[in-house]
Each structure stands twice: as structure tokens, then as C-alpha cells.
Structure 1
Amino acid sequence: MTSPTLSARAWAQLALLGLIWGGSFLAIRTALDEIPPLTSVLFRTAIAAAILWPIVLLRGLPLPRSPRPLIGLLVMGLLNNVIPFSLMAWGQMYIPTGLTSILNANSAVFGVLVAALLLADERLTLRKTAGVLLGFAGVVIAIGPTQLLALDLTSLAQLAVVAGTLSYAFAGVWARKRLGGLPPLVSAAGMLTASSLIMLPLVLVMDGPPRLALSAVTWGAIAYYAAVATALAYLLYYRVLAVAGSGNVMLVTLLIPPVAITLGALVRDETLAPTAYLGFALLAAGLTVLGSGRRPKRV
């Protein structure tokens, strides 16, 4: 039994999600011209949480009351927002936005591997193993084997982005184990709030009080990646997931890098080495293998 067939409307929503997330890499890099990485993350989580909570309340969704889900949201915020957002924002200061988006696609590969190691119902089959190996080969080629040994700012920035994708993978497992009983929108708003509470003292210590006297371009970039690429994207993601299934939603990972690469070239005059494109091709092949033949979860 294969994943649900995508309707024209689902394809349009999936493409829109890819465009939105693809544009977020340029928006984040633009904001980093004026604000530090940790401050950029605080703006992202706090603004997105402030947008999602009124929607949660208007829909009358049940809120967590006991300590267990609250602790779960705190850990989820750390794994899904604080760690990956911070690592990737820092990494983007030293590598092109297009390359960041390519390395970010590795999150789906790590997700399969970590799930196989920690979840009993996610065995690492031959097909999954082939997909994971192709994905990892793509990441190594995109970074460059010699670059991995250099340990300069460029290589460290690329490794930081890859480490962020590993954190996403652990977040996926944590969500399945600890947040299964919460409505998805409540989980999103809760973890973003928890992330903001974690980020605020870090920003005050590392960056100082956030400056509000920023250029219109910077505020526009912040508004895009916080309101559109985080809050709105969560709403759209859950809608697509409901109609398309998790196997088809993985396709969005393949749509993001071309958007980010194109925007980086047009707006920031970025260029990527040929190995980056070869690495993405291998990574895309791995993701295609991983997404093929996925069975929809029974509900």
C-alpha cells in the first residue's frame, strides 16, 4: 500500500510550502547582516508563538495542564527550535544560503536513521539503508571531503548546519514519544513559547538586549521568516500532512534547495561549487528512495 495520491490542490499547497521555506534561508541571511544569530532566533520563535496562540484560542483547542506535556514541549522547543535554528543561523553567516538549504535537506535522512535506532516500529530496511547511504554521500560531497578536514570557519559552519539537522531528527522521535496526545497546533505554539523562554536569557547574556531600531529591510526579513516561514508554514504543513501523508510531504525537502539557490544567486550574487549540485543530486536520490513505498500510518 503506497502513500495517498496527491491531488492538484495538495500539489499546489506542497509547492507553496517549498517556496515559503526556500525563501526563509534568504530572509534569515538578510537579517543576519544587522542582528546576531541568537537574536534572530529569538525574534523568530517569539513572533511566531505570538501569532499562533490567538489561533489556538479561537479554535478552542485543549491546552496541556499537567507537568508531563509541558516538560515535553520544553524539550521539543530545545530540539526542534533552539538548537537547530541557532546552529543554522550561525552557519549561514559563513556559507551561501543555497548550500545551507542543501545541507538542511539532510534532516529527512537523519530522521529515518534516528527513528530506526530509537523507535521499535521504524526498522532500518534495505531500502531505507540505501536511501540513508545515498543521502550521507550527498552531504559529504556537498561539503567536500577536503573541506571536512580543514576545520576552518567554512567547514565548521557546514558541520553546524548538519548538526542542526540531527537535532531535528531527535525532535521528531521526541514528538512521537511525548507529544502524541496534543493537537499539532498546540504543540507548535507551545514549543515556540518554550523556545522563546530558553532563548531570552541566552540572548541577553550573549548579544545584549535586542535592538528594535533596525532597517526596514531587516524587519521585513524578520517578519517573513517568523510570521510566514514559521507561523504560517506550520499551519500549511499540518494541512498538507493531513491530505497528502508523511511520505508525500517529504517531497517538500526536494523543492526547498532550488528556491533557496535561485534567490541566493539573484539577491546576494551567491555561487555554489559544482560539488554542491552533485551532492544535492545524490541527496535527492536518497530522499526519493526513502519516500518511495512508504505506507501511510493507520489512524
Structure 2
Amino acid sequence: MNRTRIAGLFLLLPVLFGAAFPAIKLGLDYVPPLLFAAGRYLLSAGLLLGFAAMTTDAWLPRTRGDWVAVLGAGVFFVGGTGLLYLGQQYTTSGVAAIIYSLIPILTPLVAWGLLPHERFSRRYLLGLFVGFVGVALVIRPEPTNLLGESVVGEGLVLLAATSVTLGSVLVRRYRSTMSVVALTGWAMIPGALIQLAFSAALGESLAAVRPTATAALLLLYLAVFASGVGFAVYFYLLERLGPLQVNLISYLIPVVAVTVGWLFLDEPITALTLAGFAVIVVGFALLRADDLVPMARRRLRNRRRPAA
């Protein structure tokens, strides 16, 4: 039963996270991007901190490491996602999700210098190069149109993915004594405040918000399911499967995002976009071959082992 539960949650998580990209895209018709992001994270922060307060004693930041982790994750991991909302004004939800799938490849690169034990190998550099080739195929910048709306939007999404990666690395560097759920909830508060500050600087106004039932449902989905339930499921799987296997979910998320965007938003799916995504996956496989091959062998041995 436990294996069935874990398998079901493993399939549920990319659905929750993948559908978030089309939900953001659709929500931008009703709410300015940074106001939309801030509203999502403030609501989700309340849910996660309430859950943490009921389930653990380690939910308040106490040490210097706690506060540094909260600020690092808040500024970069949460605050940086505002760039995703800005970028999705000019690109499809499927393309945004594919660019975000570069995060597992970016992580060792961003960690270099911040985490002393991180080292580059030739295969890593090859995987990094292949991953960026995949992103180039997705974005397809043209020399005559480098400042076109779609290229700028996709560039903002790539910056968001880099910022999220930096936030996750800072959390690893400055170890927190809090539960991860509590840390995420606390980080959402400064992240949302940063998004509100930039929202004001860009001239976003509450007068531009269209308070419809659709807008409310999209906000609830993002705050409750994509963030609240999604993070809880993510942390549950992280404890039981480890980071490598959970990171494989990153490559199911774009499949969901592209499919939902095509079904409900009439977003086109081009062969070159799919080819770019496949190249990114190859880059990740090159990067983590030392981990993936032994893991595949263990799973194969377990399947061949006769039942007791």
C-alpha cells in the first residue's frame, strides 16, 4: 500500500505543479503579474505556517542560520518567481515550464563557490552545454529580434529559474533548524513583500484587478494546491525517495503544462519546442549519469528478486 501511495503521489505532484503554469497564464488576464504572485504566496504562507504550527515544534526561526535561510529563500526562491509571472505575459505556459526544467542542470553550476564540495567534471560541462542547447531550441532567439516580446519573456523565465536555483542552494548552505514546510512558509512572506514593492515600482494598481470567480479560483488553486498541497507532497516524497528521484518530476511537469495549455488555452505545440525539451532531458541524463545508472540497476534487481 505504501508503494502504491508513493507512486500515486509521484504522479500527482507533476500534475499539481504542471497545471500551475497554465493557471498563471490565465490568471494574468485578471490580475497584474506581480500582484498575482504576491497574493498567491501570502495566502500560501498562511496555510503552510498554520500546518507547520500544528504538526511540529520546529516552526519558528530561532538561529542565525534560520533567518539567513528564510531571507535567502524569500528573496531568490520565492521573490524571484515574480520574474516568471512577468515572463509568462509574453510566452506560453508550456515553454515556461520547459525552461524551468533546466533547474536540476543549473543547480551544480550555481552551487559552485557556495557549496565547497561541489566539483565540475567534463561530463557535467557537457551536460550543461547540452541543456543550454535545448533551451536555445525552445527560445530560438533570432539576431534580428533579440528584444522581441517572446524572447524577452522567455529570458525573464530563465532568470526566474536561475533565481529559484540560487535560493535553493542558499538554503542548503545555511542549514535551518526549522522544518522545511515552515521554512518555505516563512520565506514566502519576504518574497511576497519584494514582489509587492516591485509591483508598486512598475505602476501595477489594484484598480487593474478584475475580481471574478475565475480569478479567485485560479488564485486558490495556485495557493492551496500548487503551493500548499504541492509542497507538502514534495517534502513527503523527498524524505522517502531522496532528491535525485524527486528531481525527475521536473521532467514530467512540462508534459502536463504543455498538454493543459494546449487543451484549455489553445497554445501551439511545435516540433522544435518538443525537441528542445528532449535535449534538456539528455543534458540532465549526462549530468547525473553516475547516480542514474546505479539507481536503474538497483530497481532492475529489485524487480527480478522473487517475492518472499
What is the TM-score normalised by the length of structure 1? 0.90
1:34 counterpart letter in structure 2: Y
2:114 corresponds to which residue? 118
For 1:202 and 1:61, how far apart are their aligned partners in 2? 34
2:219 counterpart letter in structure 1: I
2:287 corresponds to which residue? 290
1:278 corresponds to which residue? 275
For 1:128 and 1:210, how far apart are their aligned partners in 2? 49
Name the CA shift for 1:194/1:153 in 2 (closer, same or farther; >3 Å). Answer: same
Q: 1:162 aligns with which of 158, 166, 173?
A: 158
Q: Which runs of 5+ in 2 are unaligned?
A: 295-308
**How far apart are 1:116 and its partner, in Å?**
3.3
Query: For the Cα contact (< 8 Å) 2:82–2:195, is it kept in 1?
Result: no
2:222 counterpart letter in structure 1: Y
**How far apart are 1:145 and its partner, in Å?**
4.1
Q: Percent identity?
A: 26
For 1:148 and 1:285, how far apart are their aligned partners in 2? 29
1:189 counterpart letter in structure 2: G
Q: 1:37 aligns with which of 33, 36, 45?
A: 33
2:238 corresponds to which residue? 241
Q: 1:254 aligns with which of 248, 251, 264?
A: 251
Moved more, 116-125 or 232-241: 116-125
1:146 aligns with 2:142: yes
Name the CA shift for 1:148/1:72 in 2 (closer, same or farther; >3 Å). Answer: farther
For 1:42 and 1:69, how far apart are their aligned partners in 2? 22
**How far apart are 1:179 and its partner, in Å?**
3.4
C-alpha RMSD of the superposition: 2.2
For 1:99 and 1:212, how far apart are their aligned partners in 2? 26
Q: Which protein shows a greater Rg? A: 2
- Three-state SS of the structure 2 residue aligned to 1:251 is helix
1:183 aligns with 2:187: no
**How far apart are 1:260 and its partner, in Å?**
0.5
Moved more, 210-219 or 57-66: 210-219
1:78 aligns with 2:107: no
**How far apart are 1:177 and its partner, in Å?**
1.3
**How far apart are 1:265 and its partner, in Å?**
0.7
- Three-state SS of the structure 2 residue aligned to 1:250 is helix
Q: 1:208 aligns with which of 205, 210, 223?
A: 205
For 2:208 and 2:52, how far apart are their aligned partners in 1? 29
2:101 counterpart letter in structure 1: A
For 1:259 and 1:137, how far apart are their aligned partners in 2? 22
Q: Deviations over 1:204-231 (max 9, x none)?
A: 4532347776111111111111111011
Query: For the Cα contact (< 8 Å) 1:98–1:257, is it kept in 2?
Result: yes
Runs of 4+ in 1 over 4 A off after TM superposition: 210-213
2:247 counterpart letter in structure 1: M
For 1:198 and 1:293, how far apart are their aligned partners in 2? 39
Name the CA shift for 1:241/1:66 in 2 (closer, same or farther; >3 Å). Answer: closer
What is the TM-score normalised by the length of structure 2? 0.87
Q: 1:94 aligns with which of 90, 94, 104?
A: 90
For 1:244 and 1:157, how far apart are their aligned partners in 2? 34
1:288 counterpart letter in structure 2: A
Aligned positions, number: 290
**How far apart are 1:12 and its partner, in Å?**
2.2
Moved more, 22-31 or 59-68: 59-68
